[in-house]
Copies of this chain bind each other. A is one copy, B any other.
Amino acid sequence: MKKSIFYHAGCPVCVSAEKELLNLVDQSQIEIVHLGENKKRIEEAEKAGVKSVPALLMPSGNVLHLNFGASLSDLKN
């Protein structure tokens, strides 16, 4: 099965959402990407439809935005 990708930026909302998510879902099913530390992947996330972090890109291609930490455009600065 394709993995889901959890995009975050280390913000408090992100960390809290990550913690909740990992209680729900087997960690081996999720790749965790810190867009603040890995800015090269912002474009990839954007193309996948991610508008803000934290967000979970599903194997189906759909994106679940979990609460609101920061918009993707804020991460580019």
Give residues in A with beta carbon < 8 Å to B. 4, 16-17, 20-21, 23-25, 29, 58-60, 62-68
Contacts and interface: CB of A to CB of B under 8 A. Distances in A.
Given A16-B62, A65-B68, A66-B66, 14 more contacts: A17-B64, A20-B60, A20-B62, A20-B64, A21-B64, A23-B60, A24-B25, A24-B29, A24-B58, A25-B25, A63-B67, A64-B66, A64-B67, A65-B66
Contacts of A24: 4, 24-25, 29, 58
Which of A24, A58, A62 has the most chain B CB within a 10 Å cutoff? A24
The binding surface of chain A is classed by DSSP as mixed
A17 B65 CA distance: 10
